[in-house]
């Protein structure tokens, strides 16, 4: 398995959204060919890939084609059926493993795994059925009831003040397994993206400081404005989790930094992460380059930060009758615009992002936020 997969080989990816698109761009720049599996005929990655298999993620014929034509397969999202990955694993190199994806796609398993790895999570209660909330819930309240599977961008989450509200929210979300998690008082949020290969070699990108708007990532600031001690602890914890998962590929770990500087693991993503998009322009290699390299059995590329950077997400909300005023961004010599080629803009939909590079994170943030205002002006 230590054989390197070299350019011109076909690489497969499950999912053709923006993460699949940026993976495809990176793979193609290196001379690989790409097959995307995504049922959406307009998927952002589909049109750039060499082959777009328009089929469901559990379509046996499509999976068979991936197994027969690709040298290795990866995924852009954690909600791919774990059985599809298990099927592919019997035939070709799959990274991350089906097992790692199965853990990350289930909040209950994920949080238990983090605890078993000796790391802190928010106090949480696994709620399989409503009566799991019959006992004393004071440890978890006020809290957030989060659906265990298929939640993202703050979807499938309800803030609850008391047991009655928690039970009502559980019923309202269809009685599916959930976690009831204590709402913590956060100093700030951080994330670290790590790349790990089969030999155990692992490298982390610098920690990003993340600001959310209505549960969706809004801005990532790099380097995070925290002490060297905090970022070093975040890095070590990320490496420890990757090690414990025996992870191969790109893994993101989201942390909460509490008022007393404790670092709590929020969640993990078995793939490149929105908060790592700054690596497209600000580090030696990007997180998508790392995804390609790790699935090909190549050593991870360097992660050195070439410039402080701020990433701003562009959500569908800013599309009015016209496209946003892109020239405001394109006129700046230190701003990179990335658009995902999505046909329709909807509220909360991730349409693109831009990276602002500057001599320090505060300057990058000030310019990034000023540009965001400019974008909305006619
Ligand atoms: P998603 O899968 O949608 O990213 P998260 O669990 O990461 O779900 O929650 C989204 C955001 O909501 C977090 O980044 C954080 O800002 C806020 N949040 C989630 N859980 C907590 C918590 N226990 N305490 C405080 N804020 C939280
Ligand atoms: Mg999150």
Q: Per the structure, how many domains does the chain have? A: 3
Ligand 1: nearest atom to the Cα of 181: 23
Q: List pLDDT tens digits, range 271-307.
A: 999 999 999 999 999 999 999 999 999 999 999 999 9
SS3 90: coil
Within-domain flag for 4: no
Answer yes or no: is pLDDT of 43 > 90: yes
Q: How far is the CA of 354 from the centre of ligand 2 (A)?
A: 20
Ligand 1: nearest atom to the Cα of 186: 25
Are both 368 and 333 inside the same structural domain? yes
Within-domain flag for 206: yes
- What is the CATH number for 140? 3.30.1490.20
Q: How many CA atoms lie within 13 Å of 200's alpha carbon, on the beta-carbon side?
A: 3
State pTM to two decimals: 0.97
Q: List pLDDT tens digits, range 150-187.
A: 877 778 899 999 999 999 999 999 999 999 999 999 99
| Cα distance between residue 222 and residue 230, in whole Å | 14
Are both 22 and 84 inside the same structural domain? yes
Are both 65 and 208 inside the same structural domain? no
Pocket test for ligand 1, best of 150, 215, 259 (most atoms within 8 A of CB): 215
Domain termination residue (choose one: 140, 160, 182): 182
E strands present in 9-166: 10-14, 33-37, 51-53, 72-75, 93-94, 124-127, 143-147, 157-160
Are both 174 and 255 inside the same structural domain? no
Within-domain flag for 127: yes
- What is the CATH number for 51? 3.40.50.20
Are both 172 and 257 inside the same structural domain? no
Within-domain flag for 1: no
Are both 252 and 284 inside the same structural domain? yes
Nearest residue to 115 via CA among 9, 241, 259, 281: 241
| Cα distance between residue 86 and residue 377, in whole Å | 49
Are both 42 and 57 inside the same structural domain? yes
Are both 270 and 350 inside the same structural domain? yes
Our answer on whether the CB atom of 144 is closer than 6 Å to any ligand 1 atom is yes
- What is the CATH number for 246? 3.30.470.20
Within-domain flag for 361: yes
306 within 8 A of 282, measured Cβ to Cβ: yes
Q: What is the largest CA-CA distance in the chain?
A: 59
Are both 280 and 292 inside the same structural domain? yes
- Per 3-state DSSP, the chain is made up of helix, strand and coil in percentages (nearest 5) of 30, 25, 40
Are both 237 and 346 inside the same structural domain? yes
Are both 177 and 193 inside the same structural domain? no
User: In this structure, what is the dihedral angle of CA atoms 229, 231, 234, 238, given to the nearest 10 degrees?
Assistant: -130
Q: List pLDDT tens digits, range 237-274.
A: 999 999 999 999 999 999 999 999 999 999 999 999 99
Domain that holds residue 63: 10-94
Within-domain flag for 104: no
Q: How far is the CA of 266 from the centre of ligand 1 (A)?
A: 7
Our answer on whether the CB atom of 218 is closer than 6 Å to any ligand 1 atom is no
Average pLDDT of the chain? 96
Our answer on whether the CB atom of 267 is closer than 6 Å to any ligand 1 atom is yes
Are both 167 and 195 inside the same structural domain? no
| Model confidence band, residue 350 (pLDDT cutoffs 50, 70, 90) | very high
Within-domain flag for 107: no
Answer yes or no: is pLDDT of 82 > 90: no
């Amino acid at each position: 398995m230590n054989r390197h997969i070299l350019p011109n080989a076909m690489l497969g990816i499950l999912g053709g959204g923006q993460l699949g698109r940026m993976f495809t761009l990176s793979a193609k720049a290196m001379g690989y060919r790409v097959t995307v599996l995504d049922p959406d005929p307009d998927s952002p990655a589909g049109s750039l890939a060499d082959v777009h298999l328009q089929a469901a993620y559990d379509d046996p014929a499509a999976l068979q084609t991936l197994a027969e034509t690709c040298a290795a397969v990866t995924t852009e999202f954690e909600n791919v059926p774990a059985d599809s990955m298990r099927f592919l694993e019997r035939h070709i190199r799959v990274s991350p493993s089906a097992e790692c994806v199965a853990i990350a796609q289930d909040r209950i398993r994920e949080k238990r795994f983090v605890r078993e790895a000796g790391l802190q999570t928010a106090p949480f209660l696994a709620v399989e059925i409503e009566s799991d909330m019959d006992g004393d819930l004071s440890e978890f309240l006020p809290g957030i009831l989060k659906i265990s599977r298929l939640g993202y961008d703050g979807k499938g989450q309800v803030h609850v003040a008391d047991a009655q509200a928690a039970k009502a929210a559980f019923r309202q979300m269809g009685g599916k397994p959930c976690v009831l998690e204590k709402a913590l008082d956060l100093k700030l949020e951080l994330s670290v993206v790590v790349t790990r290969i089969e030999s155990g070699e692992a490298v982390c990108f610098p920690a990003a400081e993340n600001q959310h708007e209505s549960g969706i990532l809004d801005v990532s600031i790099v380097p995070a404005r925290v002490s060297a001690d905090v970022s070093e602890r975040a890095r070590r914890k990320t490496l420890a989790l990757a090690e414990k998962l025996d992870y191969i590929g790109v893994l993101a770990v989201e942390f909460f930094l509490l008022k007393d500087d404790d670092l709590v693991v929020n969640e993990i993503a078995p793939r490149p992460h929105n908060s790592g998009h700054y690596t497209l322009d600000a580090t030696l290699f990007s997180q998508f380059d790392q995804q390609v390299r790790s699935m090909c059995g190549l050593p991870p590329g360097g992660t050195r930060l070439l410039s402080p950077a701020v990433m701003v997400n562009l959500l569908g909300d800013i599309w009015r009758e016209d496209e946003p005023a892109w020239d405001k961004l394109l006129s700046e010599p230190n701003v990179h615009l990335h658009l995902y080629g999505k046909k329709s803009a909807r509220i909360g939909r991730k349409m693109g992002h831009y990276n602002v590079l500057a001599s320090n994170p505060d300057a990058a943030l000030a310019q990034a936020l000023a540009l965001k205002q400019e974008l909305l002006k006619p």
